[in-house]
Amino acid sequence: MLPATRRMASTLPRSQSSAALTFELLGKCSTTRARASILTLPHGKVNLPIFMPVATQASLKGLTPEQLEGTGCRLCLNNTYHLGLKPGQEVLDAVGGAHNFQGWNHNLLTDSGGFQMVSLLKLANVTEEGVRFLSPHDGSPMLLTPEHSMSLQNSIGSDIMMQLDDVLVTTHPDKARMREAMERSVRWLDRCIAAHKYPERQNLFCIIQGGLDLEMRRECCREMVARDTPGIAIGGLSGGEAKDDFCKVVVTCTELLPELKPRYVMGIGYPEDLVVSVALGADMFDCVWPTRTARFGNAITKHGVLNMKREMYAADYGPIEDNCGCPCCRPIEEEGALGITRAFIHHNAAKETVAAHLLTLHNVWYQLNLMGKAKEAIIADRFPAFIKEFFAGLYTDKKDYPSWAVDALRGVGVDLLEASAD
């Protein structure tokens, strides 16, 4: 086998541009399918792989835009369904879009609104026209179409928009319905492309559906790729399926996707899931879990999730995580360090909003830093070692490694259980 660095040097970097996006591949892992790249969007560059925190209602859970910027975040999510209700399209048009509205000068990604329809409104019913649902207020029938979703996302002005898709839980038993949903999502993508008003300044991503049926996923990949959107999402996952099945879907899709487009796996955020998905060839991830769990008093660390409400932290005067570089944890002598202790978080977790804000800062920083470290490791072509270090930090005993992760990584050439070489 040729030395990895030489092989990469001969073929990289390579890039590909569309109207409002440039994807530049910086490096590829010579063992796994992991990639490091730079994505240039209308509001600036972001490094991939990336975790995108979720500012559901145009605010990242108590942080000012400056504090979010301070975590290194340059791309976050807003939810179209929530912004469509509050403040609503008219207000968004009046204030010139969601960037202006929330004082965020970096990139935004919005979902289509369809997922919240289906997950929050039990009476929703999907037809070829769109998502039908009963207004929870007066019970009158309402309809959300791909055209509505595009119009609203155009008003929001997000840098990356998602198509409206027909989302089913991956564990849906009815294969015929699953096929219908997949095919309908393709038809809806065509309607979304036709309805999209500003392709020169907003990127529309397609979403691959098909449940856990790998053949259906492959078919969907071919159809979606043919429509040449600037980026591609793998959707419908993270809905309760087994992790093994999740990994099979991701690995099946990334195999078929064009190399020079970003790949976004929607709705995942546990650190293990991120690291494994990067190894399987995915680039972008989002999840509310890191910020939500912060509000419940949980800190994400390289040794796992710590519940700061436990009595063991009441008199622990150390930082939330040793050697963490976030504003809460970094050494007190450093500029901007806040000197926050576990004891203080324990004192105020679930009691004062300040504790939630501080843990949110820490958790977002952790997630972004994890992906930043993954990128460095990929470029240095030491990503397999990075994966091993990551799992060794989480579990003291290899027997505890989750079997889905071991199996998925073995599939891309990394054996977590082999004795370390050194």
Partner 1 sequence: MTVDVDIEEPGSSTAMRFEVLKTALKDAAAAARPGRLSFPTRRPIETPNFMGVTSRGCLPHLTPDNVTKYIQASGAYMSLEDFIEKPQQHSSRVPPIYSTPTSSKHPTPLHSFTGMPSFITTILGARRIPAVPSPMGNTNKSISVFTNTGFQPLTTSDYLSAVNTLKPDITIPLSDLTNSNITPNSKRALRMAERTEDWIVDWFNSSSSSSTATFAPVLPISYPMQWEYLTRLSEDYVDNSQLSGLAIYDPSLLPDLPSPLLSLPRLSLSPPTTPHQILSHISLGIDLFTLPFINTISDAGIALNFTFPAPLPSSPSRLLPLGTDISNPSFSKSVTPLSENCKCYSCTTHSKAYVQHLLAAREMLGWTLLQIHNHHVLSEFFSGVRHLLQNGPDEDFEKARNDFLRAYEPDFPAGHAEKPRARGYQYKSVGGGEPKKNKPAWGKLGPDADGNVEGVETPVVPEGKEVEEKGFAEEVKE
Interhelix angle 383-394/271-279, nearest 10 degrees: 160
Are 409 and 416 within 8 A, CB to CB? yes
Question: For partner 1, which is the closer residue by CB, 16 or 89?
Answer: 89
CB of 16 to partner 1, least distance (A): 34
The structure tokens 């769109």 sit at 130
Element (H, E) at 319: none
Compute the radius of gyration of the chain from its Cα atoms: 21
Tally Cβ neighbours within 10 Å of residue 208: 33
Q: Is 270 in the site for partner 1 (CB under 8 A)?
A: no
Site for partner 1 in 104-123 (CB under 8 A): 113, 116, 119-123
The interface region with partner 1, picked from 21-29, 97-105, 241-249, 381-389 by CB under 8 A, is 97-105
Distance separating alpha carbons of residues 407 and 414, to the nearest angstrom: 9
Tally Cβ neighbours within 10 Å of residue 83: 26
Q: Is 97 in the site for partner 1 (CB under 8 A)?
A: no
Q: Is 125 in the site for partner 1 (CB under 8 A)?
A: no
CB of 88 to partner 1, least distance (A): 3
Site for partner 1 in 356-385 (CB under 8 A): 356-358, 361
Distance separating alpha carbons of residues 63 and 363, to the nearest angstrom: 12
The values of phi and psi at residue 152, to 5°, are -70, -45
Amino acid at 42: P
CA distance to 287, 317, 384, per residue, from 75 (Å): 13, 33, 27
Are 181 and 137 within 8 A, CB to CB? no
Question: For partner 1, which is the closer residue by CB, 5 or 353?
Answer: 353
To the query of whether residue 322 is one of the catalytic residues in this protein, the response is no
Q: Confirm or deny that 89 is annotated as ligand binding.
A: no
Site for partner 1 in 130-159 (CB under 8 A): 130-133, 135-138, 140-145, 148, 151-152, 155
Select from 3, 13, 44, 88 the one that contacts partner 1 (CB under 8 A): 88
Please identify which of the residues 273, 283, 286, 381 carries the catalytic annotation. 286
Question: For partner 1, which is the closer residue by CB, 49 or 327?
Answer: 327
Q: Confirm or deny that 165 is annotated as ligand binding.
A: yes
Q: Which residues are annotated as a binding site for substrate?
A: 111-115, 165, 209, 236
Which residues are identified as catalytic? 111, 286
Report the binding-site residues.
Answer: 111-115, 165, 209, 236, 324, 326, 329, 362
